[in-house]
Amino acid sequence: MDVIKTDIEGLVIIEPRIFNDDRGYFYESFSQREFEEKVCSTFFIQDNQSKSSYGVLRGLHFQKPPFAQSKLVRVVKGAVLDVAVDIRKGSPTYGKHIAIELTETNHRQLFIPRGFAHGFVVLSEEVIFQYKCDNFYSKESEGSLMYNDAELNINWEILEENAILSDKDRHNQLFKDFDSPFNYNDNLYE
Does the active-site annotation cover 61?
yes
Look at residues 88, 110, 102, 87 and name the one whose alpha carbon lies nearest to residue 172: 87
Residue 144 CA to residue 25 CA, distance in Å, equals 37
CA dist 79 and 103 (Å) reads 4
Please name the amino acid found at residue 75: V
The question of whether 27 is a catalytic residue gets the answer no
Q: Spot the catalytic one: 61, 97, 107, 118.
A: 61
Query: Active site residue: 97, 131, 147, 184, which one?
Result: 131
Identify how many contiguous H helices and E strands the chain contains and give both numbers: 1, 15
Largest CA-CA distance found in the chain, in angstroms, rounded: 55
Answer yes or no: are the C-beta atoms of 163 and 54 closer than 8 Å: no
Q: Which residues are catalytic?
A: 61, 131
